[in-house]
Structure 1
Amino acid sequence: MSEKSTDRRIIRTKLLIRDALTELMEEKGFEGITVRDLTEKAAINRGTFYLHYHDKYDLLEQSEAEILTEIEKIALTINPTDFMNFNSENEPFPFIVNLFEFFHENSSFMKVILGPKGDASFQGKLKDFIKQTFFQNIMSKIKRENLLVPVDYLFAYVSSAHLGVIQHWLESGMEKSPREIAMILSRITLLGPRNALGFKKN
């Protein structure tokens, strides 16, 4: 068997296991899941499971790490200068469209991991990632003396607001397309909540 065929088989097996994890977390929560549940749901033997993961906690950790790695790749496409100069109210930030397209492709896992039966620590990891991305791509271009509010509160607001929009979109069945929800988030980010409500400055 060729190396590429082996790699594809490994990827396919790991996806089956992650899909099983997603379905079982939705059914009974992570703590109620056993390795036997996972192998039966994925239709694999225990040896195959242990070939890739030490236990269910390792499976969860690796699955979350894979998601964060892909999000980081999307973040690398951000051009700080373009982001700072972006002022269109009718076009979404391109990287936010890419981000929501990724969330859409992985919606089953994202919905459950960010939901009430998911992993609360992953929400913290995602918020930390948003904060870090915001700092690296935005704050490096801003003079701190021009800030109107303390930077730590700004980070807390931005990360919580973005995560809240992501969760609401997933929980509401993703009625908006990735581009539509990216447009909504871009407008809130660009205009602020007050202007987004229609209260324009005089």
Structure 2
Amino acid sequence: MSDKAADRRVIRTKRMIRDALTELMEEKGFEGITVRDLTEKASINRGTFYLHYRDKYDLLEQSEEEIISGIRQLVNNIKPKEAVSFTSQDEPFPIILKLFEYFQENASFMKVILGPKGDAAFQGKMKELIKKTFFQKIAEDLKIEEMLVPADYLISYVSSAHLGVIQHWLQSGMEKSPREMTLILTKMTLYGPGHVAGLKK
């Protein structure tokens, strides 16, 4: 077997295991899952499971890190000032669009992990990633003396609000397209709740 074929096989196997984890978490929550449940659901033997993961906790951690890593790669290229020009023309900001497409590709896992039977620690990781991105990419362009509220409160507000919007989209069955969600999120972020609600003209 070639290296590429072997790599594809590993990726396929790990995806099957993650899919099994997703289904089982939705059924009975993470704590109720055993390695036996996972191997039966994924139709693999225990040896194959232990070839990739130490235990179910390692599986959860690696699965979450895979998602975080994918998000991190996308947001590294964000240029906040470009978002304003795209949004003012009612066009989706490309990197945020890619993010929502990424969320859509991983929707089953993300819906569960960010839901009531998911991992509260993962929500914390997501918030920290949003905070860090916002601080590094956006806050550096802000003029503190022109701000109407303290920067730390703004960053905390934005991270919680963004995560809440993503969770609502996933839990509501992703009725809006990634394009629509990109415009919704960027308009709320750039114009503020009062403006988009029609309270402030």
TM above 0.5: yes
Alignment partners' CA distance in 1, 2:86 and 2:28? 44
Q: Which sits farther off after the overlay, 18-27 or 69-78?
A: 69-78
Q: Root-mean-square deviation (CA), in Å?
A: 1.3
**Structure 2: unaligned runs, 5 residues or longer:** none
Instruction: Tell me the residue number matched to 2:98.
Output: 98
Q: 1:43 to 1:149 in 2, by over 3 A?
A: same
Alignment partners' CA distance in 2, 1:151 and 1:84? 20
Q: How does 1:38-187 map to 2 (within 5 A)?
A: 38-83=38-83, 88=88, 90-187=90-187
CA contact (8 A) 1:92 1:187 kept: no
Alignment partners' CA distance in 2, 1:190 and 1:162? 12
Amino acid at match of 1:63: S
Amino acid at match of 2:67: I
Compute the displacement of 1:187 (Å): 1.0
Compute the displacement of 1:144 (Å): 2.0
- 1:18-46 superposed Cα distances (whole Å, 9 cap, x missing partner): 00000000000000000000000000000
Alignment partners' CA distance in 2, 1:84 and 1:90? 10
Alignment partners' CA distance in 1, 2:120 and 2:7? 32
**Structure 1: unaligned runs, 5 residues or longer:** none
Alignment partners' CA distance in 1, 2:140 and 2:193? 24
| 3-state SS, counterpart of residue 176 of structure 2 | coil
CA contact (8 A) 2:86 2:92 kept: no
CA contact (8 A) 1:17 1:39 kept: yes
CA contact (8 A) 2:101 2:178 kept: yes
- 1:116-165 superposed Cα distances (whole Å, 9 cap, x missing partner): 00000000000000000001101111222222211111111000100110
- The TM-score normalised by the length of structure 2 is 0.96
Compute the displacement of 1:199 (Å): 2.3
- 1:150-195 superposed Cα distances (whole Å, 9 cap, x missing partner): 1111111000100110010011100001111111111111211001
Q: Structure 1 vs Structure 2: percent identity of aligned residues?
A: 69
Instruction: Tell me the residue number matched to 1:15.
Output: 15
- Figure out how many residues of one structure are paired with residues of the other and give that number: 201
